[in-house]
Amino acid sequence: MIKLDLIHSFPIEEYLLTRLALSPDATEIAVGHKHFRTYDAETGTARAEFAYPEFLAQLRYSPDGRFIAAANVADNHPLTRGRLDLFDAASGALRFSADAQLPVETAAFDETGDYLYWNHAQTVHVDEQNTTVEGGIGGVNLKTLQALERVALPQLQIRNLAIAADGFACFGRDARGEAQTVEDANLIFRHFRLHTARRTGEKVREFDLGIGAGVSAISPDGRLLAVEMVDFRNNERHVSLIDVETGVEANLLPLEANTLPVLEFGLGSEYLLCMKEDAEANYNILRIWRTEDLKLVGEAQIDLSYHSMTSCLAHSTVAFLGGGKLDLFGLE
């Protein structure tokens, strides 16, 4: 079993789009849905303000904790452009900003902390009447703050990105779908794919995950993908763990109707955390697996109001957001 000891709880304005990120030393937490702030993790004292005008998809600390990257989310507005901002974590000062045709949605630092990469998609014309979204990856050298040349991945719409040892690990779906007629209806099917590529964009390997995939998390080292998979034939959903190098898939947890998992990796790819509502009780359950042997290390009942989670297992800290409060716990 696992035990959670409350470190600090403080009221906070929160929305379903509010994002969280713990600093690498777990002394600070970043929280916000547009304009965001950092707080002392032990006292809840506000530290810095960050002026970000878009709705957040992700907040990411650099490995050394000096920078925070903010990527915007698709908000269903057809004119929403992409924005990636890099801030000084201590002062909130803007250090770098990049614009894109489409919402960025995902970003990742490499393990050295020298580079930041993000989803840089663009719209292209298929013919005179039709367009499609084609993926790509933008980047910046953090030592010089100079933008890198965009790497094109035209076949993929990227949803999650990590920096693997040999390049990029990407989870996404086909940029161009396959037209099929089902019961006299013309439908477009796009397959989800787990794709790895070198820094030049050259494909290393790719695995077809079918047409049913949802919530996902990719480990910071690019070794594992955790994803909500949908089995349409049997009308079932489950959380799967997929090896990025081999494509081997393990089903970890069935998902009941109307429940969505919150997924997070800890200590690189050593542990997987999953928060999910218990369909038959009035609480969420936090589960932690050791990914090496898929052993369930333990689980704990937590407040049903929590809808967001972040962790720093190197310092045995986990944070939950919901019900108008932010709760930080020590994890045993």
pLDDT by residue, tens only, the chain of 332 residues:
799 999 999 999 888 789 999 999 999 999 999 899 999 999 999 999 999 999 999 999 999 999 999 999 987 776 789 999 999 999 999 999 999 999 999 999 999 999 999 999 987 766 666 677 788 999 999 999 999 999 999 889 999 999 988 899 999 999 877 766 666 667 677 899 999 999 999 999 999 999 889 999 999 999 999 999 998 888 899 999 999 999 999 999 999 888 889 999 999 999 999 999 997 889 999 999 999 999 999 999 999 999 999 999 999 999 999 999 999 999 98
- Residue 310 has a pLDDT of 97
d(CA 21, CA 34) in angstroms, rounded, equals: 14
- Residue 182 has a pLDDT of 65
Q: Which residue type does 217 have?
A: A
- Residue 128 has a pLDDT of 65
d(CA 151, CA 73) in angstroms, rounded, equals: 21
Q: How far is C-alpha 68 from the geometric centre of its chain's CA atoms?
A: 15
- Global pTM? 0.93
d(CA 332, CA 310) in angstroms, rounded, equals: 16
Report long-range pairs for 227-233 (Cβ below 8 Å, ≥24 apart): 227/171, 227/263, 228/255, 228/260, 228/261
pLDDT over 70 percentage in the chain: 95
Contacts of 149 (CB under 8 A, 6+ apart): none
pLDDT tens-place string over residues 94-132: 999 999 999 999 999 999 999 999 999 987 766 666 677
Identify the structural domains of the chain with CATH numbers, from first to last: 16-255 (2.130.10.10)
